[in-house]
Amino acid sequence: MNIGEASAASGVSAKMIRYYEQIELIPSATRTEAGYRVYGDRDVETLRFIRRARDLGFSVEEMGTLLALWRDKERESSEVKQIALGHIAEIERRIRELEGMARTLRHLASHCHGDHRPDCPILDDLAANTPDPAQARTHKMPQRRKSGVQ
């Protein structure tokens, strides 16, 4: 099947299939004499595996490890479980962060009159927590997990 058919069968966009080949998450597809990619059932199965792992929030690096373990029929499931438990811990950490953000915003929103007046505790809080320009230059944005874009 061609890349469009593999995309439809796996739920992974053609753009992401090309990207996964480029970063060597999946092997390069065989090609026709005209240079078109050709995919088989096993390739689609691998793409579905990646799609499910991505849906669960695994990073590209973690997906690579999981793919290698999936292909290794001699693997120990303890290694897979360890990866999953580590991922769960990361998800739970992010949930706590998001819940904290929601609590803060809920508190600020409850103190905002939301009327025609310009006074706004939400904007006041944002302005009060703005780093000075010297700190802003050294401030690093938090790293986000790369899970791909469909």
Contacts 24+ apart (CB under 8 A), 85-94: 87/56, 87/57, 87/58, 87/62, 90/145, 91/57
Give the pTM: 0.74
The mean per-residue pLDDT over the stretch 44-71 comes to 97
pLDDT of residue 22: 96
3-class secondary structure for the chain? CCHHHHHHHHCCCHHHHHHHHHCCCCCCCEECCCCCEECCHHHHHHHHHHHHHHHCCCCHHHHHHHHHHHHCCCCCHHHHHHHHHHHHHHHHHHHHHHHHHHHHHHHHHHCCCCCCCCCCHHHHHHHHCCCCHHHHHHCCCCCCCCCCCC
Domain that holds residue 41: 3-71
Do 58 and 20 share a structural domain?
yes
pLDDT digits (tens, 9 = 90+) for 63-86: 999 999 999 999 999 999 999 999
Angle between helices 41-55 and 3-10 (to 10 degrees): 50
pLDDT of residue 77: 95
Considering its fold, how many domains does the chain have in total? 2
User: Residue 17's domain is classified under what CATH number?
Assistant: 1.10.1660.10
Angle between helices 77-110 and 60-71 (to 10 degrees): 150
Across the chain, mean pLDDT equals 89
Do 110 and 61 share a structural domain?
no
Do 24 and 65 share a structural domain?
yes
